[in-house]
């Protein structure tokens, strides 16, 4: 009999989530049903979108219920299987959430080849983060050679990939992130053309942006929203494209925040703004993953994982997402 | 020697423009240069976008200078020509603005065939209004059979055409306009499925919209902006498309108005919002005009002109645009 440790949603946060919103429980798993696998979790993916599923009101998918095991995508090893699809020793990714072991339906799982790349990449550059960056640019942003692309949340898992991919398309890339260290990494290691630390007044931010983007902004890959977005929108060029992957500045707001109306800016510039999820493009996943892994192999796309060691640190690490404590993809590693 | 009456910009409005912002002057026209025509104006097109060109700060195109002849598109008869393109008696449309006679460059003028349809339609259904409605729907809104389309400014020149075109595409169409008479016209004469009078509280407007659009909103053709848009956006469906032709509610604002931030709604619904001008699609004008005139001939597309008689009423009529005094395309007719 397998004992699993789980993290369940204990209370719904007002504002930023913290450790008190979660509870650790322990339970024993029943025997497998037909077409299930028993997985031992190796990595948990901590992503901003999970915050939206802590509210009572449904966001994109159903919300979590109080007492329900929380979390999103994970990677694990198959320990036991009653499915023809997988056998013991296989690595898989799936949405079983924050638990150390789980009995899961085999059907929706994705098999991972550990010889091709580290299994954790299935949660980042070859998973949600990479696909979000890729489709946001290829389907909406469509940067052209010489255009100026601005990325908010540039040191996050999606942002740092989006910036590099925009560079691969020949654009000039400006990243906005929250510390000098992050920005140094983006410029020196990832080849961003310029970076801005957003921790300044709105007027200063606008002035810095104007300096960094003297020809205006053609593509704004927005992961953040709020006052950073207000500033960037002031500088969009005619025909600008604005993919919105997320609005982390808004996730912890209670109620609707007010901001400057943007309709006039969109009309004036015939600009396009589009919210999206990588899941909208699932029919194109194989092609996208081939591109992403090709770039990695060629050394043209770098990824960074911010790994927290130990299941017990999961709630705290998740809370840190919303104060920008991570650089790159935030993962929890569960020791073997 | 020809005497022309002109209306020049006298002062820049704070808020809604009125008659005091304009001045009537009279001048005599010089002899024609090569490749010019002398036109006698028959119709002036009064359009909301002109308001944006009264400000010092440039909007889409250059602003008007104080003392400059104001106005936009007009239709007139060629009285004299030094161009091989036109001869006396031809009808043309062009952007010579608010003057009864004008010497104009022949090159950018468009010839009108008065036998095909009344010459005034070159300013409306077969001009800026029709093309705006057409491209907003065919290029951005893309309504599908059975989808719900909401139109703001539905009794305006663009709105009433957009609603009818959306019906031709098989959508359910809800119009929002500012009086019971306008709405009765939209439903009884133009076949809108439902209408809402926006002159009520925001909460009531939202409740009325919910009643009229129980399946949510797939396409929102926005001519207006402001609190009407706030309400409609609450009801958008996943995959919604929002063409923005204009934001008449914003044009008379001084400074940037605040409103609810919309990024989260766009992400949640993977919704697309795009500002546009019909001029973005100029390569497709011939095909669009063929479609529009075909629908008119078949009796499937009706247009309505709101004609003010007399050049001297132009400033007052223009001001009335911003309080919704017109139903359909607002034109000034200059008696023969």
At B249 the pLDDT is 86
Claim to verify: residue A205 and residue A259 sit in the same structural domain: yes
- Per-residue pLDDT, averaged over A50-60, amounts to 92
Eight-class DSSP state of A46:
-
At B255 the pLDDT is 79
Report the percent of chain A where pLDDT is more than 70. 100
Domain-embedded: residue A295: no
Q: How confident is the model at residue B283 (pLDDT cuts 50, 70, 90)?
A: very high
- What's the Cα-to-Cα distance from A167 to each of A124, A125, A175, A304, rounded to whole Å? 19, 16, 12, 17
Give contacts of A223 with chain B, Cβ < 8 Å: none
Q: What does the mean pLDDT of chain A come to?
A: 96
- Per-residue pLDDT, averaged over A59-76, amounts to 94
d(CA B244, CA B139) in angstroms, rounded, equals 12
d(CA B55, CA B126) in angstroms, rounded, equals 29
H/E segment holding residue B240: strand B236-244
Q: Tell me: the pLDDT tens digits for B51-86?
A: 999 999 988 888 999 999 999 999 999 999 999 999
Claim to verify: residue A85 and residue A9 sit in the same structural domain: yes
Q: How confident is the model at residue A59 (pLDDT cuts 50, 70, 90)?
A: confident
B199-203, long-range: CB < 8 A, 24+ apart: B202/B227, B202/B230, B202/B231
Give yes or no for residue B157 having a pLDDT over 80. yes
* Burial (0-12, 13-18, 19+ Cβ within 10 Å), B286: exposed
Give contacts of A246 with chain B, Cβ < 8 Å: 267
CB pairs under 8 A between A and B: 107
Buried b (16+ CB within 10 A) or exposed e, A234-266: bbbbeebbbbbbbbbbbbeeeeebebbbbbbbb
Chain A residue with CA closest to B245: the answer is: A267
Q: Tell me: the pLDDT tens digits for B103-112?
A: 999 999 999 9
CB proximity B231 to A under 8 Å: no
Classify the phi-psi angles of A115: left when phi > 0, otherwise alpha if psi is within -120 to 50, otherwise beta.
alpha
d(CA A81, CA A151) in angstroms, rounded, equals 43
Give yes or no for residue A336 having a pLDDT over 80. no
CB proximity B257 to A under 8 Å: yes
Q: How confident is the model at residue A17 (pLDDT cuts 50, 70, 90)?
A: very high
At B115 the pLDDT is 87
Claim to verify: residue B119 and residue B134 sit in the same structural domain: no
Give contacts of A268 with chain B, Cβ < 8 Å: 52, 59-60, 275
Claim to verify: residue B154 and residue B275 sit in the same structural domain: yes
Match 């942003």 to its residue by tokens: A141
Tokens representing A292?
């992403």
Give yes or no for residue B336 having a pLDDT over 80. no
At B229 the pLDDT is 97
Claim to verify: residue A150 and residue A204 sit in the same structural domain: yes
Which of B60, B225, B266 is opposite residue A244, by nearest beta carbon? B266
Q: How confident is the model at residue A226 (pLDDT cuts 50, 70, 90)?
A: very high
Domain-embedded: residue A292: no
With CB atoms and an 8 Å threshold, state whether A247 touches B263. Answer: yes
- Per-residue pLDDT, averaged over A127-142, amounts to 97
d(CA B87, CA B92) in angstroms, rounded, equals 10
Give yes or no for residue B7 having a pLDDT over 90. yes
- What's the Cα-to-Cα distance from B177 to each of B106, B214, B251, B300, rounded to whole Å? 39, 19, 18, 22
Claim to verify: residue B109 and residue B153 sit in the same structural domain: no
- What's the Cα-to-Cα distance from A315 to each of A12, A96, A304, A331, A332, rounded to whole Å? 13, 16, 21, 12, 10
CB proximity A264 to B under 8 Å: yes
Q: How confident is the model at residue A10 (pLDDT cuts 50, 70, 90)?
A: very high
CATH number at residue A85: 3.90.180.10
- Picking from A112, A104, A192, A92, the residue whose alpha carbon sits closest to that of residue A152 is A192
With CB atoms and an 8 Å threshold, state whether A276 touches B267. Answer: yes
With CB atoms and an 8 Å threshold, state whether A260 touches B262. Answer: no
From A8's Cα to the closest Cα of chain B, the distance in A is: 24
- What's the Cα-to-Cα distance from A230 to each of A54, A282, B150, rounded to whole Å? 27, 31, 27
With CB atoms and an 8 Å threshold, state whether B263 touches A60. Answer: no
CB proximity B202 to A under 8 Å: no
Domain-embedded: residue B210: yes
* Domain region containing A52: 3-124+304-333
Chain B residue with CA closest to A251: the answer is: B264
Domain-embedded: residue A113: yes
Chain A residue with CA closest to B278: the answer is: A270
Domain-embedded: residue B214: yes
At B252 the pLDDT is 84
**Among residues B263, B279, B295, which one ends one of the domains?**
B279
B33/B248: higher pLDDT: B33
At A116 the pLDDT is 85
At B134 the pLDDT is 98
Report the percent of chain B where pLDDT is more than 70. 100
Claim to verify: residue A135 and residue A55 sit in the same structural domain: no
Pairing relationship of beta strands A172-177 and A194-197 according to DSSP bridges: parallel
Q: Tell me: the pLDDT tens digits for B290-329?
A: 999 999 999 999 999 999 999 999 999 999 999 988 899 9
- Per-residue pLDDT, averaged over A176-198, amounts to 97
Claim to verify: residue A132 and residue A262 sit in the same structural domain: yes
- Per-residue pLDDT, averaged over A304-322, amounts to 96
Claim to verify: residue B246 and residue B135 sit in the same structural domain: yes
- Picking from A160, A158, A166, A172, the residue whose alpha carbon sits closest to that of residue A141 is A166
From B259's Cα to the closest Cα of chain A, the distance in A is: 5
> Contact, B119 vs B92, CB < 8 A?
no
Q: How confident is the model at residue B193 (pLDDT cuts 50, 70, 90)?
A: very high
At B142 the pLDDT is 98
CATH number at residue B198: 3.40.50.720
Claim to verify: residue B111 and residue B8 sit in the same structural domain: yes
Domain-embedded: residue A16: yes
Match 């990677």 to its residue by tokens: A75
Give contacts of B274 with chain A, Cβ < 8 Å: 266, 270-273
Helix/strand/coil for B96: coil
ipTM greater than cut 0.95? no
At A298 the pLDDT is 96
Pairing relationship of beta strands B305-309 and B272-275 according to DSSP bridges: unpaired
Claim to verify: residue B180 and residue B275 sit in the same structural domain: yes
Q: Tell me: the pLDDT tens digits for A75-102?
A: 999 999 999 999 999 999 999 999 999 9
Q: How many domains does chain A have?
A: 2
Claim to verify: residue A133 and residue A161 sit in the same structural domain: yes
Domain-embedded: residue A164: yes
Q: Tell me: the pLDDT tens digits for A142-169?
A: 999 999 999 999 999 999 999 999 999 9
Q: Tell me: the pLDDT tens digits for A238-258?
A: 999 999 999 988 888 877 899
Residues 6 or more apart in contact with residue A54 via CB below 8 angstroms: A9, A12, A13, A17, A21, A63, A64, A70
Domain-embedded: residue A159: yes
Cα–chain center distance at B95 = 15
């Amino acid at each position: 009999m397998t004992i699993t440790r789980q993290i369940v949603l204990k209370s719904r946060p007002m504002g930023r989530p913290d450790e008190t919103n979660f509870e650790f429980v322990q339970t024993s798993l029943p025997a497998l049903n037909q077409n299930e696998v028993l997985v031992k979790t190796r990595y948990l993916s901590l992503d901003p979108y999970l915050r939206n599923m802590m509210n009572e009101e449904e966001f994109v998918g159903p919300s979590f219920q109080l007492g329900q095991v929380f979390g999103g995508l994970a990677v694990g090893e198959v320990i036991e299987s009653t499915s023809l699809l997988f056998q013991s020793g296989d690595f898989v990714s799936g949405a079983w959430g924050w638990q150390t072991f789980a009995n899961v339906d085999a059907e929706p799982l994705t098999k991972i080849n550990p010889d091709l790349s580290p299994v954790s990449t299935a949660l980042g550059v070859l998973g949600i983060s990479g696909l979000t960056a890729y489709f946001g640019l290829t389907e909406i942003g469509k940067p052209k050679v010489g255009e100026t692309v601005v990325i908010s949340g540039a040191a996050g898992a999606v942002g740092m990939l989006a910036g590099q991919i925009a560079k691969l398309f020949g654009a000039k890339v400006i990243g906005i992130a929250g510390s000098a260290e992050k920005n140094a990494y983006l410029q020196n290691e990832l080849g961003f053309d310029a970076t801005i630390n957003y921790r300044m007044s709105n007027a200063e931010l606008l002035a810095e942006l104007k300096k960094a983007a003297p020809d205006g902004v053609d593509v704004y890959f927005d992961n953040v929203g709020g006052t950073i977005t207000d500033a960037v929108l002031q500088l969009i060029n005619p025909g600008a494209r604005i993919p919105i992957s997320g609005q982390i500045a808004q996730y912890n707001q209670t109620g609707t925040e007010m901001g400057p109306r943007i309709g006039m800016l969109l009309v004036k510039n015939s600009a396009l703004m589009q919210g999206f999820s990588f899941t909208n493009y699932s029919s194109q996943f194989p092609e996208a993953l081939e591109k992403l892994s090709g770039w990695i192999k060629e050394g043209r796309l770098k990824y960074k994982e911010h790994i927290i060691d130990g299941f017990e640190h999961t709630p705290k690490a998740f809370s840190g997402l919303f104060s920008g404590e991570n650089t790159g993809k935030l993962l929890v590693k569960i020791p073997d």
